[in-house]
Structure 1
Amino acid sequence: MRPDAEGTSADGPIPPSAATKRVVLVTGPSGAGRSTAINVLEDLGYETIDNLPLSVLPRLLDADDTARPLALGLDVRNRDFSIAALIEVIDGLARAHDISAELLFLEASPDTLVRRYSETRRRHPLAPAESAAEGVDRERDLLVPIRSRADILIDTTDLTPHQLRDEMERWFAQGDSRQMAVLIQSFSYKRGMPRGVDTAFDVRFLANPYWDADLRGLTGMDPRVRSYVEADLRYHEFFDKVVDLTKLLLPAYEEEGKRYLAIGFGCTGGQHRSVTLAENLAKALADQDWRVSIRHRELERRGLTVATDTSGTSA
């Protein structure tokens, strides 16, 4: 079934099997490393196409009967690019039963993007007659709805091309020996469930740091907030059972061929309790050598992904 066909499936990437074709959409702001990522995917055995017009994609998938996975580079330079059109493509792929689709979003800090443009002396596609900084800001704002739908986020700010290649290989190397990737997310129930979550835990029963004036403006990435949440008498028993259940299920899912699992923690605002649980579970799984990435949806929207303690150092 192709992107414009009827049918439903769980949101998010569908684990590849003999009946599914893996399709990776690669996007992000100009200068974040999309071309490098496409080249790595080609080296990994993917058929790659860069700057494909979105209107051509359904016909491409209908005509493609090869078993090779497909990687498509998409950005604002695509001839018929629009946010609405790209969202329609993403949603269509998610509904297709015979396609395992993933959206890879590459990003970097604004200063890094501006510096990269200055080093190459290229003009920004969204600011051909203006400064690179104006183009960077314009493009970042434009891509906010796409970033929120990403299955995999890679921040290339501090990555060398070699390090980006290593990160890409961890996520996209093919073969049965590749370990399943685990994404752990925090979110606010006020904004609904995140796209692609396989399992979600509601942690609104835990003591809420919001009601402590000293903690209200902090996040679950701050040790003071974590200590508050962990002081709830119900926390440790709940967390230990979540860890035990997750460790029981991960090998079973992996044996069934699942390559990607998303676990969510939700609370009222997505700032304190859910963030604490997501951070703690990510650490517990990483300590057991699982390949883990983490997202804090509400913090990302508000630019609060880094907590700061009273000494001014990152927590």
Structure 2
Amino acid sequence: MVLVTGPSGAGRTTAIGALEDLGYEPITNLPLSFVPRLLSGHLEHPVALGVDVRGRDFSAAALIELIDTLTREPDLDLDLLYLDARPEVLERRYSETRRRHPLSPDEAPGEGIAAENDILAPIRLRADVLIDSSEMSPHELRAEVGRFFDTGRIEKLAVSVSSFSYKRGVPRGIDLMFDCRFLSNPHWEPELRPLDGRDAAVAAHVSADPRHGEFHQRVLDLLLFLLPAYVEEGKTHLSVGFGCTGGQHRSVAVTESIAKALAEAGWQVSKRHRELERRAPEGAETRMRTGA
């Protein structure tokens, strides 16, 4: 069992979703007094239990008492995962989403953040794993959770393929990075400039470059050679990045085609277009799963 807690806005929901992808059964908003009853039954899967200050019978003392009780269970492997972030980051996230803080619904988020941190301070000290998400994207947070809590229930490692702009810097956590700036740039074609690499016309322009076919095949062959070796080594997540000048055309087109080829080869693949997310947050990250 993994108990997941931390201040609101630090990524608790994202972490629980990542644990669910790793084979954990997610349970949220369960009163603390019900947890022993949950454990009295037969659990077929590891459990990710989300706990936050809005719970009906939540208190720091009650949660610490529960942790002590569960720790004494001989057949239970318990970890406390604490998601944290700097107060100014939490306040910015609330401002960006225009959400109200649960502890200060009628006041500025900063007051609720301070109150919640005070309540959770004793629990933070008990954390087995503490992840500060201040500088992490949701994608990076999911990867970090996977590094700590993979149960081996995923048959193959998860591969993330992403596009980015070199002008905005290289994303954190990239394992393998490829530069696409040598390919023909659709930006200089007026009819293609407002489109992105997901558009068929842009993809056709990029693939028409005489160097594209060999580049694509060599990269794909390299990845298909490396992925089984990473599985044998015990790696659970591999991040592959493709960069170009603006992160709109060439890197996006190559990311799309490589992700599709890896998924067709049976690998669990997610794809992300960082610069397109900045332009249109909805639907920029997708996940492709296979039956393998």
TM-score (norm 1): 0.53
Which residue, 139, 144, 152 being the options, matches 2:142? 152
Partner of 2:257: 280
Match of 2:87 in 1: 82
Partner of 1:40: 25
2-structure distance, mates of 1:236, 1:296: 22
- Deviation of the 1:147 alpha carbon: 2.7
- 8 Å CA contact 1:183–1:261 kept in 2: the answer is yes
Q: Which residue does 1:227 correspond to in 2?
A: 204
Higher radius of gyration, 1 or 2:
2
| SS of the residue 2:231 aligns to | helix
The 3-state SS of whatever aligns with 1:261 is strand
2:206 aligns to what SS in structure 1? helix
1:72 is aligned to 81
Which residue, 273, 276, 285 being the options, matches 1:296?
Answer: 273
CA RMSD, 1 decimal: 4.5
Aligned to 1:187, what secondary structure does the other structure show?
strand
Partner Cα distance (1:224, 1:144) in 2: 38
2:226 corresponds in structure 1 to 249
Task: Give the letter for the 2:140 counterpart.
Answer: A
Whether the 8 Å CA contact 1:48–1:71 is kept in 2: the answer is no
* CA deviations over 1:234-285 (Å, ceiling 9, x no partner): 1011101111111011001101111110000000011111011111111001
The share of aligned pairs that are identical, in percent, is 42
Matches within 5 A, 1:1-315: 33=13, 37=17, 40=25, 44-45=45-46, 50-51=51-52, 68=77, 70=79, 72=81, 74=83, 82-83=87-88, 125=102, 128-129=105-106, 146-147=136-137, 150-152=140-142, 174-175=151-152, 178-303=155-280
Instruction: Report the Cα offset of residue 40 of structure 1.
Output: 2.6
Give 4+ residue runs of structure 1 displaced > 3 Å after superposition.
22-39, 41-44, 46-53, 66-71, 73-76, 83-86, 143-146, 304-307
Compared CA separation, residues 23 and 210, structure 1 to 2 (3 A): farther
Gaps of 5+ in 2: 28-42, 54-59, 61-66, 92-96, 108-132, 285-292
CA distance in 1, matches of 2:7, 2:205: 39
The answer as to whether partners of 1:41 and 1:71 remain within 8 angstroms in 2 is no
Measured in 1, the distance between the counterparts of 2:264 and 2:227 equals 14
Distance 2:168 2:228 in 1: 31
CA distance in 1, matches of 2:277, 2:183: 23
Q: How many Å separate the matches in 2 of 1:151 and 1:184?
A: 16
Q: Distance in 2 between matches of 1:27 and 1:274?
A: 36
Counterpart residue identity of residue 147, structure 1? S
Normalised by the length of structure 2, the TM-score is 0.57
